[in-house]
Chain A
Amino acid sequence: MISTLFISPRFVAYPQDVSDAVLSPYLAMFGQQIRHNILWKQVRQLSLEDSADTATITLNEIALTDWPIIIVKCVGSARVNTTAKDFDGTTAITGKLPVYGTSLVPGIAVISTYNLVSATVEALADDTVVEVFAAIAAEDDDSRLDTYA
């Protein structure tokens, strides 16, 4: 079944303490409402007990080289390790996307990419809990939006 993913990150910077009675205008804001057509998705909750424990992100139905979107929520310290191909589709590239968080402010990492070969989640500290959302997106003119419906 086709799904629709809405991603809304919002960061706002204020120059004064928000506990003040008068709220000054914000200095800067990053506010987005991004929508994606989703062909396939998977959600996993992982409890990585020891530092250096890893879990592989797999998308069984569609190749990672398509248009994967990975969202990671972390309490503790973790890292998303990626291997992919460059623009030319041949040259290998690697990436490490760390994420740190506490239960009050969980760490959140997001990547919307393509040409991905593999992706793993690696704990950087003991007792790290990670939720991983992995999905494959599609352009509006992708014919699979009809065949997967």
Chain B
Amino acid sequence: MYILRQFQASLADGERSAMAEATRFTWRLRDILPKYTLSIASGLYSNGYQLVDDTSFAVPLPEDYDTANRLYYALRAEGIVKATVVSPTHGTSTFLIKGTTGTTNGDHHGLLIGVGDITSITLVTSASSVTTPVEWFFFSLPDLTDADSFRLGQLALGVTSA
């Protein structure tokens, strides 16, 4: 299994509604690896769920993942969600993920992205009669100091010959 991980964040001056002003980017974070993917032996899970009322939902972890490895997790929420992350090393952590959706508040989804040895991740909404879609992408993070963890993506560069 091979994971292409890219992350980009940009901060533009001005409001998006006035795009003529948003021409100056005062901060960028770019982690783009067009040439490399991460090679993972196994341990991948990606899916989505609709949280309903205030019923807790235990997010399934990759079937063959164990806490001897680190799990890279990315969670997206379209509303306000409480995430309880349990780790043998870091203990129990509770985060409130805030996102909004709709025409009044706007579509600004919340993210929680991190890495760690994970025992469980549980999600719940704030109250009954609240419905919030969530999405996640988990993969077992390989040893980043090991050169074998990286694969050179020739195809990504447009080179198709072996």
Contact = CB atoms under 8 A, between A and B. Distances in A.
B13 A95 contact: no
Contacts of B97: 111-113
A17 B36 CA distance: 11
Interface string A64-89: 00010001010000010010101100
Contact of B113 (A41, A87, A93, A110): A110
A71 B154 contact: no
Chain A interface mostly: strand
Nearest to B72: A11
B109 A34 contact: yes
A125 to B, nearest CB: 12
Given A8-B8, A18-B4, A96 B15 contact: no
A126 to B, nearest CB: 15
Chain B interface mostly: strand
Contacts of B141: 100
Nearest to B150: A104
B68 interface: no
Contacts of B107: 35
Given A4-B11, A7-B9, A113-B97, A79 B108 contact: no
A5 B9 contact: yes
Contacts of A96: 87, 90-91, 93
B131 interface: no
Interface of A: 1-21, 23, 27-30, 32, 34-38, 41, 43, 67, 71, 73, 79, 82, 84, 86-87, 93-102, 104-115, 131, 133, 135, 137, 139-141, 145, 149
